[in-house]
Amino acid sequence: MTGLEDIKPLYKYALLYLYRGGDPLKLSARYGVNQYILYSYYNKFRRELDNIDTRIKLIYSILSEGFSLEDVAEILDWRDFEELVSLVFREYGYEVIRSFRIRRPPREIDIIAYSRDTLFCLECKHWDKLLSPSILREVVKSHIDRCRLLGNISRYIGMKIYPVVITLRHHKTFFEGGVAIIPINGLANFIENYLSLVIDGLLRDVTSL
């Protein structure tokens, strides 16, 4: 009996796309997906897709079979997008906490990812359009404020805390006042090379912002 793990990569991708409410006609036009096959799989596995662990396993599988981070991110909702970001940091050996809550004043940070004395304070924006400069400045300002509060928590005092905003739609990494704005498809490269950005003064610890 065919299970989700036995389906071809394209149809795994198509299942997640359809689950999110995507237009199957676009899939057919773009990839040549057979709608009869797609809906037969969808009717069979629809309930399994309600489980986030199942969706994340599909994401792992799709990424390992050649789809890009950007391809996958486009077919996820915001919760799965955050889990995808978490997945990438875990692959690089970081400890990850999602929905980190600060009690006083009450604030929530989408993700913190840390290793040794380095901590990334992450805001994930799974928006279907580019952020305008004015909205982006507001996002960055609010995020810096939350990251400063994080730096006051005893277990994180003394760590280098870098505020980062991760987006779906921007096409390249850029910086706003020492904060990195990273498209999902540039995340792995950022993790590998962030120290050079710190040395160049582009990425800054929250204490210097």
pLDDT digits (tens, 9 = 90+) for 122-176: 999 887 677 778 888 888 999 999 999 998 898 999 999 999 999 876 667 889 8
- Do 125 and 152 have their domain in common? yes
Query: Quick check: 180 and 203 in contact, CB under 8 A?
Result: yes
**Domain CATH for 160:** 3.40.1350
Among the ranges given (58-72, 84-98, 113-127), the one the predictor scored with the smallest mean pLDDT? 58-72
- Do 92 and 58 have their domain in common? no
For residue 2, the model assigns a pLDDT of: 57
Q: Does residue 119 form part of some domain?
A: yes
- Do 139 and 186 have their domain in common? yes
- Do 82 and 49 have their domain in common? no
Tokens at residue 192, please?
């590998």
- For range 20-42, the mean pLDDT: 88
Mean pLDDT, the chain, whole residue set? 88
Predicted confidence (pLDDT) per residue in 84-106, tens digit: 899 899 999 999 999 999 988 99
Query: Quick check: 110 and 123 in contact, CB under 8 A?
Result: yes
- Residue 115: give the domain boundaries: 78-208
- Do 158 and 102 have their domain in common? yes
- Do 121 and 155 have their domain in common? yes
For residue 56, the model assigns a pLDDT of: 81
- Across 11-15, 24-28, 132-136, which has the greatest mean pLDDT? 11-15
- For range 7-24, the mean pLDDT: 88
Number of domains making up the chain: 2
- Do 100 and 62 have their domain in common? no
Predicted confidence (pLDDT) per residue in 172-194, tens digit: 788 988 999 998 888 999 999 99
Q: Does residue 72 form part of some domain?
A: no
- Do 200 and 139 have their domain in common? yes
- Do 61 and 88 have their domain in common? no
For residue 1, the model assigns a pLDDT of: 41
- Do 153 and 113 have their domain in common? yes
Instruction: List all residues 6 or more positions away from 95 whose beta carbon is below 8 Å from its beta carbon.
Output: 113, 114, 115
Beta-carbon neighbour count of residue 148 at 10 Å?
Answer: 15
Q: Does residue 73 form part of some domain?
A: no
